[in-house]
Chains A and B, each alone.
Chain A
Amino acid sequence: MTQAQVEIQLLAMATAVACSLCGVFLVLRRMTLLSDAISHTVLIGIVVAFFLTGDMASPWLLVGATTAGVFTVLMVESLQKTGVVREDAAIGLVFPALFSIAVLLISIYSKNIHLDMDAVLVGKIALTPLPSRRLEIGGYDFGPKSLALMMAIIIVNLGFIIMFFKELKVSTFDPAFSKAIGFNPYWIHLGLVLSVSTTAVASFDAVGSILVVALMAAPAATAYLLTDKLSIMLVWSCIIGMLSAVLGYWLAHILDASIAGSMSTVAGIIFGFAFFFAPERGLFSVWHRAKTRDRKFKLALLLVHLTQHEGTIREEEECNIESLHLHLRWDEYEAHSVAFEAVETFCATKENKVLRLTPKGRIIALESLQIGTNLS
């Protein structure tokens, strides 16, 4: 690997980590849509700050963009409070308005400035190692400027989360309780909005405004499926973010495609895997649990059916494997396989195609009946 490749991957990882950290709380608070809005409207802050300073590397761009992010949230909330539009509509109204003004401004003045739309949408992480974008202090080269900025953002985000971990936890889980014990969820909310805004701006340079939200939402949503603990969820989210960054870089390398695009794609694929295969919360696991539960219940049902007809005249008829499905109104195949399972697990024996309960089967049937009665 060349030094340039290493630097690009480091920046990609740093961006992913910064985004994944905010993302966890966005996902848990159901605020990802708002972060999408923020990541777009920061553009107007950048544009305005750029016009005022004339310098694309000015720290004022960060200030301008963060202000725009907070302004977006305040506008969405005040629009919502009027009661005329709902939250989703308010977001859908505010962010295209601000974003389109920014796009207009760029397209009008783009002859004079190097702020083109492609860079805005998907970033320009590939340009990271260029000599003009390096941080040099006293003749020493400290690597790309954007990497240094991203590291600073990670430290700020991490500091915010560590310092206010218990406040973030309680206000996210139970806002009313949080307020009642003296932690007004609004301040936490505002802190989070600030952190999302600064992260969105800083990531903007690397991955553009559209893909920021993918890096915020996908790793966190994946981590949510993998753990039951908030702190572990944060760790997983960062790991998945970094994995998406590195794999995404090499995917782009192979395909000769956009790095930011590949990173988001990989993040989406990893989420897809977790969505199906996560051990507890994944779709297959949920299906499997439902199926096992269903199967267990069907078995109990069959055993109860057998107890009801045990020793009666109709036993030969009712408990006959061949006609079982007609009495229980089950699918024939299913009736056979449940009957087979009953024999397999020694709950029943088969005598001339008639099922007869074993002592074990009788106990299970009686227990099932008991539970059924308690429930009602």
Chain B
Amino acid sequence: MTRPHDKKMEFALEINDLTVSYKDKPVLWDIDLEIPQGALVGIVGPNGAGKTTLIKSILGLLKPVAGSAKILGLEIDQGIKKIAYVPQRGSVDWDFPATVFDVVQMGTYGKLGWLRRPGSNEKKLTKDALEKVGMLELAHRQISQLSGGQQQRVFLARALVQHAEIYLMDEPFQGVDSTTEQSIVELLRELRNQGATALVVHHDLQTVKDYFDWVVLLNVRKIAAGPVSEVFTETNLKLAFGSRVSLGE
């Protein structure tokens, strides 16, 4: 018996009629979005556009008032295991007593589940991830002694450890040096080439074309979504940001 559905490639993310509100004020308004697998996707929009909210809703950290999100065709509580999440750097207290290694190793906790402790396999995964982001020498450094760029690398390494199929990143380039930014982009491309999908909340309109294959323009409502070459146009940007923004070309 053949089932044609088996051949169909699932979307990495499939969002239907998603509305999230703060009391009666919508932060995301009826979003429909389908993200193909293996794309590097930039999420772009002005402040308060709901970019972080979108990511948090996909992760199930926020409850929508309407609509749903599916991850690789699965409901959130199942699909979440396929996702690695990189929160905003400023969302945690970097004075917490932990080393770089400790924080990156947290990426292995999800697969371990409750009660099981990280062993030699998890230590190896952690070291590999640290090496990939160029932080192996700083493995035993206290996290409060890191620069902004190094903190971001730590968060990225923690996500890499998860070996996820989808990466959700909230402003990974916020306040990092240009070397770090370039190496993060390199890593994202490498992940994409291995078949992973990445959604990245991004602020710098100038680099969208260089960094991403796909772009989602957001301003409470979805303005546009699709391949950068088709969607990242002056008209759409004006719809998302108002008339003052231009690409400066």
Q: Which A residues have a C-beta under 8 Å from some C-beta of B?
A: 28, 163-167, 169-170, 172-174, 176-177, 179-183, 224, 227-230, 232-233
Cross-chain pairs A/B with CB under 8 angstroms, 20 sampled: A164-B114, A169-B106, A170-B109, A172-B96, A173-B92, A174-B106, A176-B61, A176-B85, A179-B59, A179-B61, A180-B59, A180-B60, A181-B110, A182-B113, A227-B97, A228-B144, A229-B98, A229-B102, A230-B97, A230-B98
CB proximity to A under 8 Å, residues B160-207: 162
| B117: chain A residues within 8 A (beta carbon) | 165-166
CB proximity to A under 8 Å, residues B21-59: 56, 59
Chain B interface extent, by class: 20 to 34
Are B81 and A230 within 8 A (Cβ)? Answer: no
| The 8 nearest A-B residue pairs measured at CB | A181-B110, A228-B142, A180-B85, A180-B59, A170-B106, A174-B92, A173-B96, A230-B97
Of the residues B56, B96, B99, B115, contact of A164 by C-beta under 8 Å: B115
Are B87 and A177 within 8 A (Cβ)? Answer: yes
Are B97 and A233 within 8 A (Cβ)? Answer: yes
Are A166 and B91 within 8 A (Cβ)? Answer: no
| Main secondary structure on A side of the interface with B | helix
Other contacts beyond A166-B112, A173-B96: 4, CB < 8 A = A164-B114, A173-B92, A174-B106, A182-B113
With most chain A CB atoms within 10 A of its CB, the pick from B98, B112, B117 is B98
- Within the assembled complex, what's the spacing in Å between the Cα atoms of A163 and B114? 9
Task: For B85, give the chain A residue with the smallest CB separation.
Answer: A180
| B228 contacts A by Cβ under 8 Å | no
Are B96 and A166 within 8 A (Cβ)? Answer: no
Given contacts A173-B92, A176-B91, contact A182 B110 (CB under 8 A): yes
Given contacts A173-B103, A228-B99, contact A183 B93 (CB under 8 A): no
Distance in angstroms from A281 CB to nearest chain B CB is: 8
Of the residues B109, B115, B144, contact of A181 by C-beta under 8 Å: B109
Are A182 and B85 within 8 A (Cβ)? Answer: no
| A28: chain B residues within 8 A (beta carbon) | 96-97
Given contacts A180-B83, A182-B81, contact A229 B99 (CB under 8 A): yes
| B80 contacts A by Cβ under 8 Å | yes
Task: For A24, give the chain B residue with the smallest CB separation.
Answer: B97
- Within the assembled complex, what's the spacing in Å between the Cα atoms of A229 and B140? 10
Given contacts A173-B103, A174-B92, contact A166 B87 (CB under 8 A): no
CB proximity to A under 8 Å, residues B62-121: 80-81, 83, 85, 87, 91-93, 96-99, 102-103, 106-107, 109-110, 112-115, 117-118
